[in-house]
Amino acid sequence: MTAPDNASLYRSIADELKAAIRAGVYAPGARLPSESELADQYDASRGTIRQAFAALVADGVISSRRGARRTVLGGPRLQSFADLVSFSRWARSVGEEPSGRVARLEHRAATLVEAEQLALAEGANVYHLTRVRMLDGRPVMIERTAYPEPVGELVVGIDPSGSITERLEELGLIFADAEHTIDAVPATAEDARLLAVRSRAPLLRERRRTTDPSGVPLEWSEDRYLGQEVAFTVRNSVNRNALSRWHSGPEVS
């Protein structure tokens, strides 16, 4: 809809196939047309059709095996990268109204973790923003984000009740890669107060580092979701793999 859609043939073919799957033309389990059929239909080469299919496989929409036609996978629809990095965009994509309330905004020296994640020198300053994020007025998440100074100086000029990520993109920043770590933690006293839950209630914690296309960190965020309200879904297969399990070792007593 609003996406820039850097049009390429294989992208538009992939989008058409995705739309057809979403519309139920190809139900879960159904077999898709062969590469040669689509090549004729779109007057494209086989390589281009394969590129389109590869995008669907990467998105976990279809599965592919040699000798048999590709089949549609079932399950929840996927969201785009932009939906994942921006809470506001995600909320709207699932039909809920996002909002935000600032709990704290600081300009201070980076902690050790922040300096490491943002690749800053020790003692460098960061802007640190704590927000409570809501869906249709109900608080579901606490967002604690550290920005390096050049980014933070832009952030302080942005209305914090809406989407900061979208404003930063309008200002020319490019959010290209993100790395997420997901675990479960008990709510601290502050968490409990901001989310209106019992202290030590289980929260889903997502720590995220987002970088621009050349790998320069743009933000480091620790988000805590109400465990019962939000979950993360991952698809992976023998061919494509973007998830990994992580073990911290027995660090705490």
Partner DNA sequence: TAGTGGTCTAGACCACAAA
Partner DNA sequence: TTGTGGTCTAGACCACTAA
- Residue 78 in contact with its own copies, rule: CB under 8 A: yes
How far apart are the C-alpha atoms of 21 and 70, rounded to whole Å?
Answer: 12
Please pick, from the candidates 44, 103, 154, 182, the single residue that binds its own copies as defined by CB under 8 A.
Answer: 182
Site string for its own copies, 27-66 (x = CB under 8 A): -xx------------------------x---xxx--x-x-
Identify which of residues 181 and 239 has a Cβ nearer to DNA in the complex.
Answer: 239
- Residue 96 in contact with its own copies, rule: CB under 8 A: yes
Enumerate the H helices of 23-105 as residue ranges.
35-42, 46-58, 81-85, 87-93
Amino acid identity for residue 128 in this structure: H
- H/E stretch holding 140 reads strand 138-148
For residues 42 and 14, the answer to whether their CB atoms sit within 8 Å is no
Scanning residues 82 to 111, which ones bind DNA (CB under 7 A)?
none
How far apart are the C-alpha atoms of 250 and 253, rounded to whole Å?
Answer: 7
Scanning residues 15 to 74, which ones bind DNA (CB under 7 A)?
32, 34-37, 43-48, 50-51, 53, 64-70
Minimum distance of its own copies from residue 156's CB (angstroms): 26
Amino acid identity for residue 158 in this structure: I
- Residue 19 in contact with its own copies, rule: CB under 8 A: no
